[in-house]
Amino acid sequence: PSDQLRYHIYNEVGGPLGNANNNLNDCWTYLRNDSQKWYWNSEFDRDSAVFFSTLITPHTSATLQGEEIIAPFWRGLKNISDLILTTPKEDLSCSILEDQIILNSRLASSVQAADYDDVPPNVRKALQRLMGSHNDLTGLCSQDSDDIGRLAIVGNSLHVIVEEQIRKSVEMRVVVVIISPRAKTAFASFVAIFVLWISTKSMKRF
């Protein structure tokens, strides 16, 4: 307990403003000591999950090596993606994206020149995906193309790839109910009768 340092994080969606009970997330920091065992994995994706008790297991996320390099580049692509999505289709053209594309091309040059020796594979993969979308967009607009349909397709693809790089955490609560064998039989009978009733109602419609 002496290693636990309590603090709060303000949560905008927690509840009405001024309600401290809903708007403050109860968090802890921990002082490092040799009795602790910490594990980390930098290869999580949308198909990964970890099961643990959130009430007794300290857990966190961290910035990986290389993320600080590609972050400005990602933000530039996010701005382009938002601009494409919010611009009426009839007004969409490469000319309205020109300034942001030029800025992002400069960022791309600095990103490509960076040292990635210690960067985890998934960060490199994210960079490749972002760079591919950037090249698709600049390639299309360098042709002075006014093909709104192609620009919209490239913009939608860019939006998907940009959103993929956002770290998201979904916490789920698992509730286990233990029931007796007699209760199981009663519940199974209830489900069977309910399904039969639904089937009968459906047949009557025809």
Cβ-based neighbour number of residue 48 at 10 Å: 8
Residue pLDDT tens, the chain, 206 long: 567 776 666 665 554 444 545 566 667 777 877 888 888 877 777 777 777 777 777 777 777 888 888 888 888 899 888 888 888 888 888 888 888 888 888 888 888 777 777 788 888 888 888 888 888 888 888 876 667 788 888 888 888 888 888 766 666 666 666 667 777 777 777 777 777 766 665 444 43
Radius of gyration of the chain, Cα coordinates, nearest whole angstrom: 26
Cβ-based neighbour number of residue 145 at 10 Å: 14
Give the integer Cα–Cα distance in Å for 15 and 189.
42
Q: What is the pTM of this model?
A: 0.61
| Close Cβ partners of 137 (under 8 Å, ≥ 6 residues apart) | 80, 97, 101, 154, 155, 158
Q: What is the dihedral of CA 15, 17, 23, 24, to 10 degrees?
A: -170
Give the integer Cα–Cα distance in Å for 205 and 202.
5
